[in-house]
Amino acid sequence: MKNKKKTVLWIVLVVVALIAVAVTIWAKGYYQDHYVGSDYYTVVPAGFDVTPQPLYDRDGNARDTGKIYDLTGYNAQGEAKELEWSVRGDSSSDYPGPGTYLKVVSSKYLVNGWSVIDKADIPAGALAQINAH
Protein backbone atom coordinates (compact mmCIF):
# COMPACT_ATOMS: atom_id res chain seq x y z
CA MET A 1 0.00 0.00 0.00
CA LYS A 2 2.83 2.36 0.87
CA ASN A 3 4.56 1.53 -2.42
CA LYS A 4 1.40 2.38 -4.38
CA LYS A 5 1.13 5.82 -2.72
CA LYS A 6 4.77 6.48 -3.53
CA THR A 7 4.20 5.58 -7.19
CA VAL A 8 1.15 7.86 -7.43
CA LEU A 9 3.10 10.68 -5.80
CA TRP A 10 5.92 10.31 -8.35
CA ILE A 11 3.45 10.28 -11.25
CA VAL A 12 1.79 13.45 -9.94
CA LEU A 13 5.18 15.15 -9.51
CA VAL A 14 6.26 14.23 -13.06
CA VAL A 15 2.98 15.51 -14.51
CA VAL A 16 3.27 18.78 -12.57
CA ALA A 17 6.88 19.19 -13.74
CA LEU A 18 5.89 18.55 -17.37
CA ILE A 19 3.08 21.11 -17.12
CA ALA A 20 5.48 23.65 -15.60
CA VAL A 21 7.97 23.12 -18.45
CA ALA A 22 5.24 23.42 -21.08
CA VAL A 23 3.89 26.65 -19.55
CA THR A 24 7.41 28.09 -19.35
CA ILE A 25 8.11 27.31 -23.00
CA TRP A 26 4.77 28.82 -24.06
CA ALA A 27 5.31 31.96 -21.94
CA LYS A 28 8.79 32.51 -23.37
CA GLY A 29 7.46 32.22 -26.92
CA TYR A 30 4.58 34.59 -26.16
CA TYR A 31 6.96 37.14 -24.66
CA GLN A 32 9.39 36.89 -27.59
CA ASP A 33 6.61 37.25 -30.18
CA HIS A 34 4.99 40.25 -28.50
CA TYR A 35 7.65 42.23 -26.64
CA VAL A 36 11.10 41.56 -28.13
CA GLY A 37 11.45 43.78 -31.15
CA SER A 38 13.76 44.60 -34.00
CA ASP A 39 14.52 47.98 -35.51
CA TYR A 40 12.82 49.08 -38.72
CA TYR A 41 13.20 52.37 -40.51
CA THR A 42 10.68 54.34 -42.56
CA VAL A 43 9.71 57.81 -43.68
CA VAL A 44 6.29 59.39 -43.46
CA PRO A 45 5.24 59.81 -47.10
CA ALA A 46 4.58 63.16 -48.76
CA GLY A 47 0.92 64.03 -48.60
CA PHE A 48 0.32 62.02 -45.40
CA ASP A 49 -2.66 63.62 -43.65
CA VAL A 50 -1.92 64.36 -39.99
CA THR A 51 -5.42 65.57 -39.14
CA PRO A 52 -6.54 64.13 -35.77
CA GLN A 53 -9.19 61.43 -36.07
CA PRO A 54 -11.19 59.35 -33.62
CA LEU A 55 -9.47 56.11 -32.61
CA TYR A 56 -11.85 53.20 -32.13
CA ASP A 57 -11.70 50.14 -29.89
CA ARG A 58 -12.48 46.60 -31.06
CA ASP A 59 -16.20 47.18 -30.52
CA GLY A 60 -16.25 50.26 -32.76
CA ASN A 61 -16.52 52.80 -29.95
CA ALA A 62 -14.48 56.02 -30.24
CA ARG A 63 -12.03 55.95 -27.31
CA ASP A 64 -9.41 58.57 -28.10
CA THR A 65 -8.16 61.04 -30.69
CA GLY A 66 -5.06 60.41 -32.72
CA LYS A 67 -3.58 59.20 -35.96
CA ILE A 68 -3.01 55.68 -37.26
CA TYR A 69 0.26 55.08 -39.09
CA ASP A 70 0.31 52.16 -41.50
CA LEU A 71 3.71 52.23 -43.18
CA THR A 72 6.28 49.87 -44.61
CA GLY A 73 9.52 49.75 -42.66
CA TYR A 74 12.86 48.19 -43.53
CA ASN A 75 15.43 46.56 -41.30
CA ALA A 76 19.19 47.12 -41.68
CA GLN A 77 19.33 44.40 -44.35
CA GLY A 78 16.55 46.08 -46.35
CA GLU A 79 13.87 43.48 -45.55
CA ALA A 80 10.36 44.96 -45.52
CA LYS A 81 7.71 44.71 -42.81
CA GLU A 82 4.27 46.29 -42.59
CA LEU A 83 4.05 48.41 -39.45
CA GLU A 84 0.88 49.79 -37.89
CA TRP A 85 0.57 51.86 -34.75
CA SER A 86 -1.36 54.84 -33.45
CA VAL A 87 -0.17 58.15 -32.04
CA ARG A 88 -2.55 59.73 -29.56
CA GLY A 89 -3.16 63.44 -29.09
CA ASP A 90 -5.58 66.19 -30.04
CA SER A 91 -3.12 68.27 -32.06
CA SER A 92 -1.53 67.39 -35.39
CA SER A 93 1.71 68.83 -33.98
CA ASP A 94 1.86 65.64 -31.87
CA TYR A 95 2.26 63.50 -34.99
CA PRO A 96 5.29 62.94 -37.19
CA GLY A 97 4.52 64.66 -40.47
CA PRO A 98 5.45 64.05 -44.09
CA GLY A 99 9.17 63.66 -44.68
CA THR A 100 9.90 62.63 -41.07
CA TYR A 101 12.26 59.68 -40.71
CA LEU A 102 11.29 57.15 -38.05
CA LYS A 103 12.90 54.26 -36.25
CA VAL A 104 10.19 51.78 -35.28
CA VAL A 105 10.75 48.89 -32.88
CA SER A 106 8.48 46.02 -33.86
CA SER A 107 8.05 42.50 -32.53
CA LYS A 108 6.44 39.72 -34.54
CA TYR A 109 2.96 41.06 -33.72
CA LEU A 110 3.24 44.55 -32.20
CA VAL A 111 4.90 47.90 -32.66
CA ASN A 112 6.64 48.40 -29.33
CA GLY A 113 7.82 51.97 -29.89
CA TRP A 114 8.94 54.58 -32.36
CA SER A 115 11.15 57.65 -32.48
CA VAL A 116 12.04 60.41 -34.89
CA ILE A 117 15.58 60.07 -36.23
CA ASP A 118 17.90 61.81 -38.67
CA LYS A 119 18.24 60.39 -42.16
CA ALA A 120 21.97 59.96 -41.48
CA ASP A 121 21.18 57.47 -38.69
CA ILE A 122 19.39 55.01 -41.00
CA PRO A 123 21.43 51.93 -42.00
CA ALA A 124 22.38 51.81 -45.67
CA GLY A 125 20.25 48.74 -46.48
CA ALA A 126 17.11 50.32 -45.07
CA LEU A 127 17.81 53.72 -46.62
CA ALA A 128 18.26 52.18 -50.07
CA GLN A 129 14.81 50.61 -49.81
CA ILE A 130 13.21 53.79 -48.47
CA ASN A 131 14.70 55.80 -51.34
CA ALA A 132 13.55 53.19 -53.88
CA HIS A 133 9.93 53.52 -52.79
Distance CA 84, CA 10 (A): 50
59 and 31 in a single domain? The answer is no
29 and 83 in a single domain? The answer is no
Q: Which residue has the higher pLDDT, 1 or 67?
A: 67
123 and 96 in a single domain? The answer is yes
Domain that holds residue 13: 1-36
> Range with the lowest mean pLDDT among 70-84, 89-103, 111-125?
89-103
Distance CA 79, CA 57 (A): 31
The pTM of the full predicted model, rounded to 2 decimals, is: 0.82
- Tell me what percent of the residues of the chain surpass a pLDDT of 90: 71
Distance CA 26, CA 111 (A): 21
Task: Tell me the one-letter amino acid at 49.
Answer: D
The pLDDT of residue 116: 96
Mean pLDDT on 2-19: 86
The total number of structural domains that make up the chain: 2
Please enumerate in sequence order all residues whose Cβ is within 8 A of that of 75, keeping only pairs 6 or more positions apart, or say none. Answer: 38, 39, 40, 41, 81, 123, 125, 126
